[in-house]
Chain A
Amino acid sequence: EIVLTQSPGTLSLSPGERATLSCRASQSVSGSYLAWHQQRPGQAPRLLIYGASSRAAGIPDRFSGSGSDTDFTLTISRLEPEDFAVYYCQQYGGSPPYTFGQGTKLDIK
């Protein structure tokens, strides 16, 4: 089973700042099948990034993903008020289980 470790656990920033979230895998993620999901309070999650770096439909270009093998990053270039939420990485390549990271909470400073 691939274990995903996200850091930091909580990130406190102000609107307009840049956010960098990390996701590290315990073994190589095949095919860079790594996704990022956002969950706002009281809402269902939504897909932001798939294939490590491809934005899902309708996702603003301030969101970008990068990385490969075991190290992945989600960057939000300029934070908007609606971006303060919890972010999860998930690997979906190879055989299940398709594990999630424990999440990074993005807080307003």
Chain B
Amino acid sequence: QVQLVESGGGVVQPGRSLRLSCAASGFTFSSYGMHWVRKAPGKGLEWVAVIWYDGSNKYYADSVKGRFTISRDNSKNTVYLQVNSLRVEDTAIYYCARGPHVAVVTAIDYWGQGTLVTVSS
């Protein structure tokens, strides 16, 4: 069965960095794009970034552009989110999610359980 397991969250001071990871299993990882989505306390879901199945295209929400970088290692079935210059408003649960298939447009159909990032001085 499809499994997505995030890690790398924690408490960090404003301006610092973290690298979030998401280990995937149960499907052909190299055939799917992958998303990061976050949910801040008391707010709704916010789409953060997507990376194509082969890493050829990457897109970001305006709120994180220039600070966050999505990447993947298909040999390790893992997608990453490098989060730099963290702000208090980046505090959220970060979810990875399975995204567009190589051949067809697909919705997010599987979600991980999330990893909590808290930005606080």
Interface residues of A (CB under 8 A from B): 1, 31, 33, 35, 37, 39, 44-47, 50-51, 56, 86, 88, 90, 92-93, 95-103
Contact = CB atoms under 8 A, between A and B. Distances in A.
Q: Summarize A's interface: helix, strand, loop or mixed.
A: loop
Nearest to B4: A44
A17 to B, nearest CB: 24
B44 interface: yes
Interface residues of B, number: 25
Contacts of B106: 50, 92
Most-contacted residue by chain B among A1, A33, A100 (CB, 10 A):
A100
Nearest to B39: A39
B108 A99 contact: no
Contacts, number: 67
A99 B107 contact: no
Contact of A97 (B45, B47, B110, B111): B47
Interface of B: 35, 37, 39, 44-47, 50, 59-62, 95, 99-100, 105-114
Given A31-B105, A92-B105, A44 B47 contact: no
A103 B40 CA distance: 13
B105 to A, nearest CB: 6
Contacts of B99: 92
B44 A44 contact: no
B105 A35 contact: no
A106 B103 CA distance: 35
Contact of B45 (A33, A47, A103): A103
A99 B109 CA distance: 15
B45 A45 contact: yes
Contacts of A33: 105, 107
